[in-house]
Amino acid sequence: MAEVAYKTRKQDLGIYYTPEPVVAFVFDILNVLKKKQDEESARWESHEPNPHYPSVIDPAVGEGIFLKMAIESGFTKPRYVFGVDIDEHVVEQWERINLLKSFGSRADLENHFFNQDGLRPLNHDRILPYKRGGLKEFDAVVGNPPYGGCGLAGLNLKGEPAAYYGSFELVQRKYANSNNNLALGDFRKPVPAEKLTRYPIELLFIERFIQLAKPGGWIAIIIPDGILANSSLQYVREFIVDRAKVLAIVSLPRETFKQVGTNAKTSILFLRKYREGDDRDLNYRVFLASISKLDEQGFDLLTESFEEFHYDG
């Protein structure tokens, strides 16, 4: 009975864990980007005298598969990965997942994982000396945040929390300042709790992923296809292209999350957050692809095509 209740709760929260072939593909693409950057600027493994590795965070880490693959794919090292999750059940499992073997001790693991709402600021008392930029900026922000569940209804929407969630620019664009492109620090109008309750949580996670990325950092996020197509969400697409260059959109098969309770059509969105002074002309090429089944060979072909596309462009 408890197991059934937990499954229902995950569906209510919009939590659907990602199949490993999809996560492996995400890091195949990120490794292409990292390799090209290293060739151009010797920023990572070829850095002398000591190699550098990207810092990675998953703000809705779940059982940890994205961070596990970040390490196993060679994209980064254990001490540079961080995870956040609101669900206490997955926190109980962190000690037993393969990530613990990478860290060596529960205490070290706990320095990298946060049991909290992934939309909220991280505890800066836990800044680690080798994490440049503290816990504000990461080289890569990756994951499959919740979607299609209860929106923000399960969160505390009174007092300071309501003001915090209501201050997200996407909420402001939707309800309060729909005609303005708000810059950080601009006046935010209060948004009624009943509107916040209905606001899709996946949209706030898009903004949170972009917040967490450092200028020039990469973002890889799985999103429902409606975000890419619905006319009512044009303001979300405008927000994304205001802040990041779209590198690739890869459509996933409808059955991707069938085994964990949904037939929602989803895509992987790959972005690079703009640096100050970057050319923001929207006239650029974007890698668009679709995969019909979760097949390793198909993902390998897509990776090869992306590498050719990216090196040519």
Residue range 111-134: average pLDDT? 75
At residue 11, the pLDDT reads: 45
User: Which of 101-115, 130-144, 210-224, 252-266 comes out lowest in average pLDDT?
Assistant: 101-115
Query: Are 78 and 169 members of one domain?
Result: no
pLDDT digits (tens, 9 = 90+) for 49-107: 989 999 999 999 988 899 989 999 999 998 899 999 988 777 667 666 666 677 767 77
Check whether residue 42 and residue 89 sit in a common domain. yes
51 assigned to some structural domain:
yes
- Cβ 291 vs Cβ 252: under 8 Å: yes
E strands within the chain? Answer: 56-58, 81-85, 113-115, 138-143, 213-224, 244-251, 266-273, 287-290
pLDDT of residue 136: 72
Together in a domain, 253 and 174: no
pLDDT at position 127 is 59
pLDDT band at 135 (very low <50, low <70, confident <90, very high): low
- Report yes or no on 70 lying in a domain: yes
Q: β-strands 113-115, 138-143: how paired?
A: unpaired
Q: Average per-residue pLDDT in the chain? A: 85
Share of the chain above pLDDT 70, in %: 82
| Residue-number span of the structural domain to which 180 is assigned | 152-199
The span from the CA of 303 to the CA of 245, in Å, is 19
Same domain, 89 and 157: no
Position 16 confidence tier, pLDDT thresholds 50, 70, 90: low
Using the predicted structure, report yes or no on whether residue 183 has a pLDDT greater than 60: no
- Look up the CATH number of the domain holding residue 290: 3.40.50.150
Say if residue 175 is in the same domain as residue 101: no
How far apart (Å, rounded) are the C-alpha atoms in residues 126 and 272?
27
Of the candidates 167, 199, 231, which is a domain's last residue? 199
Verify that 217 and 194 share a domain, yes or no.
Answer: no
Q: Within this chain, do residues 32 and 110 fall inside the same structural domain, yes or no? A: yes
Measured in whole angstroms, how far is the alpha carbon of residue 160 from the centre of its chain? 25
For residue 230, is it within any domain? yes
The predicted model gives 209-217 an average pLDDT of 95
My answer on whether 61 and 34 are in the same domain is yes
Considering the domain architecture, whether residues 7 and 143 belong to the same structural domain is answered as: yes
In a domain, 10, yes or no: yes
**Backbone dihedral angles phi then psi of residue 245, each to the nearest 5 degrees:** -85, 130
Query: Do 144 and 216 reside in the same domain of the chain?
Result: yes
Residue 47, in any domain of the structure: yes
Domain boundary, last residue among 142, 172, 199:
199
277 lies in the same domain as 164: no
Q: Are 122 and 134 in contact (CB under 8 A)?
A: no
pLDDT at 311: 74
pLDDT tens readout for residues 228-285: 999 999 999 999 999 999 999 999 998 888 766 677 899 999 999 999 999 999 999 9
Specify the number of domains making up the chain: 2
Q: Up-side HSE of residue 184: CA atoms within 13 Å toward CB?
A: 3
| Mean pLDDT, rounded, for 287-309 | 94
Residues 85 and 138 in one domain: yes
Cβ atoms of 25 and 303 closer than 8 Å: yes
Look at 188-192, 215-219, 295-299 and tell me which has the smallest mean pLDDT. Answer: 188-192
What is the model's pLDDT at position 35?
95
Residue 121 domain-assigned (yes or no): no
Predicted model pTM: 0.89
